[in-house]
Chain A
Amino acid sequence: MTKPNQALETILQQDYEHGFITDIEADALPPGINADTIRAISAKKNEPEFMLAWRLKAYEYWRHLKEPHWAHLKYTPIDYQALSYYSAPKLKEGPKNLDEVDPKLIETYNKLGIPLKEQEWLAGVAVDAVFDSISVATTFKDKLNEMGIIFCSFSDAVQNHPDLVQQYLGSVVPHTDNFFAALNAAVFSDGSFVYIPPGVRCPMELSTYFRINARSTGQFERTLIIADAGSYVSYLEGCTAPQRDENQLHAAVVELVALDKAQIKYSTVQNWYPGDENGVGGIYNFVTKRGECRGHHSKISWTQVETGSAITWKYPSVVLKGDYSVGEFYSVALTNHHQQADTGTKMIHIGQHTKSTIVAKGISAGFAQNTYRGLVKVLAHADGAHNYTRCDSLLMGQHCGAHTFPYIESKNSRARIEHEASTSKISEDQLFYLAQRGIDTENAVSMIVNGFCKEVMKTLPMEFAVEARKLLGLSLEGSIG
């Protein structure tokens, strides 16, 4: 029998589109971490005392922790003393408008297709662009300000809204949560902050494009979103990164708080450099994302499309505290070549009549390993709790792996927990059928994979969905055989 899909294999070998490094002088700290590093970061950012105290507490805690290794991942050890923990683009003064921003930055944004000008407003997207940990441009703040919405860099929030920061920072993901969250709390340089006041429906999708630029700089973003009673916000996070040889650590923390009847929709398209086809290079992505449905009838919905990074360790979770609160997790994780993903969610049912839905689609190609790891936990008092979980895996080729670890802990015998799972292979019959209709292998694979992920893709905001669909096709350049 001939080896089918040779055409497919050639298609799957495509270089990472966003592989370039902008040559900008970075204002970086020397490598290494100790209490003085923490003080230096805090001082550079001109932070109030409570922030420094919090960071130092986190550092003290982290110092005594060991890196966790329970995930289904293999990688060379990270030397935390070899990383530089702060890097900011050098700017003489804060830019007042785009003209004052380094043209090379703008060039980078343009290469990435980030619309930082008038088009944004027309597209209804406000961009808080994070370049190497520091926000250099924030748009539409004024427009949002009128409605009482705060959308700014984390640093700005610390300066201008310290009370909100102090009240909510670490209230969902405490510094003691895990190794990477503790490290993030100690050294995080910037990120995004969102506050939606009571009863306000945010009129546009809030969007932040992350981009890792300086070499060997660990990235420690921190995002905090608070939706006050009866409010609504949809937040988009999209990432690309330049190509490079060395592995990079990224340990972000995202905290969401939804008060009574508030809704937060958080969508991610993650396309960081995955390493080359031999598994060299690529981002190590150890992220802690958690939302707390603190109020009754609140809702938090995570959608993620993960195609990048050499290693993905990420479990966007929802703590369903409020009665009648709802948690959702829709995920597509695509791994190709030597990528490894161990991702999933945790749904913690505490309040009564809480409901959660998990739909996870894993696509594995090449030599990649793709793991779904999820926990559904129902506490004793969570009467009427209901969870529905569906995990599907699609395998392309002979050398990849798909693994599913669904953990269920229920202390309430009346809780309804449903779980469905499937594993399938992309079939020769499907590819041949589509080829016979004149559709080339590349498009056929993209079509089949997008069909497989449809349930998840349809939960993405429109403009994001288009990008994500393209990404799925592109990311598979190089993998059946």
Chain B
Amino acid sequence: MLTIKNLHASIEDKAILRGLDLNIKPGEVHAIMGPNGSGKSTLASVLAGREEYQITAGTMHYQGTDLSTLTPDERAHLGLFLSFQYPVEIPGVSNLYLLKSALNAKRKQAGLEEMDAIDFLTIVREKMKLLHMDDSYLYRDVNSGFSGGEKKRNEILQLLLLEPSLCILDETDSGLDIDALRIVAQGINLMRNEERSILLITHYQRLLDYIKPDVVHILSGGKIVAEGDYRLATQLEAEGYEPFLQKKAGGD
């Protein structure tokens, strides 16, 4: 369970998050929507532990642990996974090597034996099949020369492989064409179960056509200004952000 209370965060002394509250229970899918600059990606970065951001007030706990006391890799080992909006390229490092290192880092943390190459290949190929990815992905350098869609698919492959308990997907739908969006969404839906929490960060409703959230939050000015079920996304799509932003201004 993820519990965020009154979270304030800033970068280079510029306040981005200003009193954000959020609770996600096991098995729930939440969507955070908001206009550009509302703090969506900042929330993802702060949860994952990017050092450039300072938490100036508030708390965030996952499974009872104060996340702010953990390094990014410790958070990952706790089960937090961030699918990046802009996955980085790592020249010279094969995707296969990254995937295997990540999986084995997780297994090591859990006190399990490292997985050997053959077992690993069997598993990773199974997951790749689900995402319609061919073997060449394994031998290319991490994200190097990948198209936007290929990068996103590669993120979801890591998600499927690492089986985290808290999945944060930052603008996963951007850069995807309709076919790719459907495949990626199918991959994410496969991950849904009673234990796993999913946080979808998105600008548009279209991802939510494929992954139906339990709760939709609207983020504006660094705080949640509206909450509802999936119909809120539909309303947003029809009316735009404007009515919600005015509501927020009124609230202040």
CA distance A156 to B93 in the complex (A): 45
Q: Which residues of chain B from 85 to 101 have any CB-CB distance to chain A below 8 Å in the complex?
A: 87-88, 90-93, 97-98, 101
Asked if B109 is at the interface of the complex by the 8 Å CB criterion, the answer is: yes
Minimum-distance CB pairs A-B, first 7: A451-B92, A451-B93, A435-B72, A438-B76, A454-B92, A437-B102, A438-B105
Q: Please tell me if the beta carbons of B52 and A437 are within 8 angstroms of each other in the complex.
A: no
* Given the contacts A447-B93, A451-B93, A438 and B73 also touching, CB distance less than 8 Å: yes
Determine the residue in chain A with the shortest Cβ distance to B158. A437
- Which chain A residues lie closer than 8 Å to B75 at the CB level? 436
Asked if A1 is at the interface of the complex by the 8 Å CB criterion, the answer is: yes
- Which chain B residues lie closer than 8 Å to A440 at the CB level? 73, 105
Binary per-residue interface labels of chain B (189-219) against chain A in the complex, 1 for a CB within 8 Å, 0 otherwise: 0000000000000000000000000000000
Binds B, one of A110-118, A183-191, A398-406, A426-434: A426-434
* Residue from A430, A433, A437, A452 having most chain B Cβ neighbours under 10 A: A437
Q: Please tell me if the beta carbons of B105 and A443 are within 8 angstroms of each other in the complex.
A: yes
Q: Please tell me if the beta carbons of B84 and A437 are within 8 angstroms of each other in the complex.
A: no
- Which chain A residues lie closer than 8 Å to B105 at the CB level? 437-440, 443
Binary per-residue interface labels of chain B (103-119) against chain A in the complex, 1 for a CB within 8 Å, 0 otherwise: 00110010000000000
Asked if B141 is at the interface of the complex by the 8 Å CB criterion, the answer is: yes
Asked if A239 is at the interface of the complex by the 8 Å CB criterion, the answer is: no
Interface majority SS on B: helix, strand, loop or mixed?
mixed
Q: Please tell me if the beta carbons of B162 and A437 are within 8 angstroms of each other in the complex.
A: yes
Q: Please tell me if the beta carbons of B102 and A439 are within 8 angstroms of each other in the complex.
A: yes
Selected A-B contacts with CB under 8 Å, 15 pairs: A7-B71, A428-B51, A432-B50, A434-B90, A434-B98, A435-B72, A437-B76, A437-B102, A437-B162, A439-B105, A443-B101, A447-B90, A447-B101, A451-B141, A455-B92
What is the size, in residues, of chain A's interface with B at 8 Å between Cβ atoms?
A: 27
Q: Please tell me if the beta carbons of B51 and A4 are within 8 angstroms of each other in the complex.
A: yes
* Residue from B51, B88, B162 having most chain A Cβ neighbours under 10 A: B51
Asked if B134 is at the interface of the complex by the 8 Å CB criterion, the answer is: no
Q: Please tell me if the beta carbons of A2 and B162 are within 8 angstroms of each other in the complex.
A: no
Asked if A448 is at the interface of the complex by the 8 Å CB criterion, the answer is: yes
Pick the contact of A447: B71, B87, B88, B97 (CB < 8 A): B97
Q: Please tell me if the beta carbons of B76 and A435 are within 8 angstroms of each other in the complex.
A: yes
Minimum Cβ distance to chain A for residue B218 (Å): 26
CA distance A437 to B88 in the complex (A): 12
Binary per-residue interface labels of chain B (125-162) against chain A in the complex, 1 for a CB within 8 Å, 0 otherwise: 00000000000000001000000000000000010001
* Residue from A438, A441, A451, A453 having most chain B Cβ neighbours under 10 A: A438
- Which chain B residues lie closer than 8 Å to A428 at the CB level? 51-52
Minimum Cβ distance to chain B for residue A236 (Å): 23
Pick the contact of B91: A438, A441, A443, A452 (CB < 8 A): A452
Q: Please tell me if the beta carbons of B82 and A436 are within 8 angstroms of each other in the complex.
A: yes
Q: Please tell me if the beta carbons of B92 and A452 are within 8 angstroms of each other in the complex.
A: yes
Binary per-residue interface labels of chain A (241-281) against chain B in the complex, 1 for a CB within 8 Å, 0 otherwise: 00000000000000000000000000000000000000000
* Residue from B71, B73, B109, B158 having most chain A Cβ neighbours under 10 A: B73
Determine the residue in chain B with the shortest Cβ distance to A361. B92
* Given the contacts A430-B90, A451-B91, A436 and B72 also touching, CB distance less than 8 Å: yes
- Which chain B residues lie closer than 8 Å to A443 at the CB level? 101, 105
CA distance A434 to B101 in the complex (A): 10
Asked if A450 is at the interface of the complex by the 8 Å CB criterion, the answer is: yes
CA distance A430 to B90 in the complex (A): 7
CA distance A40 to B158 in the complex (A): 67
Q: Please tell me if the beta carbons of B51 and A2 are within 8 angstroms of each other in the complex.
A: yes
Minimum Cβ distance to chain A for residue B82 (Å): 5
* Given the contacts A448-B90, A452-B91, A433 and B97 also touching, CB distance less than 8 Å: no
Asked if B48 is at the interface of the complex by the 8 Å CB criterion, the answer is: yes
Determine the residue in chain B with the shortest Cβ distance to A431. B72
Q: Which residues of chain B from 52 to 94 have any CB-CB distance to chain A below 8 Å in the complex?
A: 52, 54, 71-73, 75-77, 81-82, 84, 87-88, 90-93
Q: Please tell me if the beta carbons of B73 and A451 are within 8 angstroms of each other in the complex.
A: no
* Given the contacts A429-B88, A448-B90, A450-B92, A438 and B98 also touching, CB distance less than 8 Å: no
- Which chain A residues lie closer than 8 Å to B12 at the CB level? 1
Determine the residue in chain A with the shortest Cβ distance to B141. A451
Minimum Cβ distance to chain B for residue A418 (Å): 20
On A, residues with C-beta under 8 Å from B are 1-2, 4, 7, 427-430, 432-441, 443, 447-448, 450-455
On B, residues with C-beta under 8 Å from A are 11-12, 48-52, 54, 71-73, 75-77, 81-82, 84, 87-88, 90-93, 97-98, 101-102, 105-106, 109, 141, 158, 162
Determine the residue in chain A with the shortest Cβ distance to B101. A439
- Which chain B residues lie closer than 8 Å to A455 at the CB level? 92
* Residue from B90, B105, B109 having most chain A Cβ neighbours under 10 A: B90
Q: Please tell me if the beta carbons of A438 and B97 are within 8 angstroms of each other in the complex.
A: no
Having A433-B84, A435-B71, one finds 10 other A-B pairs with CB under 8 Å, namely A2-B51, A427-B88, A428-B52, A436-B75, A436-B84, A438-B105, A439-B105, A452-B91, A453-B92, A455-B92
Minimum Cβ distance to chain B for residue A137 (Å): 36
Determine the residue in chain A with the shortest Cβ distance to B105. A438
Pick the contact of B73: A435, A452, A453 (CB < 8 A): A435
CA distance A437 to B77 in the complex (A): 8
- Which chain B residues lie closer than 8 Å to A434 at the CB level? 90, 98
CA distance A436 to B141 in the complex (A): 18
Q: Please tell me if the beta carbons of B158 and A2 are within 8 angstroms of each other in the complex.
A: no
* Given the contacts A2-B51, A435-B71, A430 and B88 also touching, CB distance less than 8 Å: yes
- Which chain A residues lie closer than 8 Å to B106 at the CB level? 438
CA distance A14 to B243 in the complex (A): 58
Q: Please tell me if the beta carbons of B93 and A450 are within 8 angstroms of each other in the complex.
A: yes
Pick the contact of B52: A2, A427, A433 (CB < 8 A): A2
- Which chain B residues lie closer than 8 Å to A1 at the CB level? 11-12, 52
Q: Please tell me if the beta carbons of A433 and B87 are within 8 angstroms of each other in the complex.
A: yes
Q: Please tell me if the beta carbons of A448 and B50 are within 8 angstroms of each other in the complex.
A: no
- Which chain A residues lie closer than 8 Å to B52 at the CB level? 1-2, 4, 428
- Which chain A residues lie closer than 8 Å to B71 at the CB level? 7, 435
* Given the contacts A430-B88, A447-B90, A448-B90, A438 and B54 also touching, CB distance less than 8 Å: no
Q: Please tell me if the beta carbons of B92 and A436 are within 8 angstroms of each other in the complex.
A: no
CA distance A439 to B106 in the complex (A): 8
Pick the contact of B88: A4, A7, A433, A441 (CB < 8 A): A433
Q: Please tell me if the beta carbons of B91 and A436 are within 8 angstroms of each other in the complex.
A: no
CA distance A277 to B112 in the complex (A): 36
Minimum Cβ distance to chain A for residue B237 (Å): 31
- Which chain B residues lie closer than 8 Å to A433 at the CB level? 84, 87-88, 90
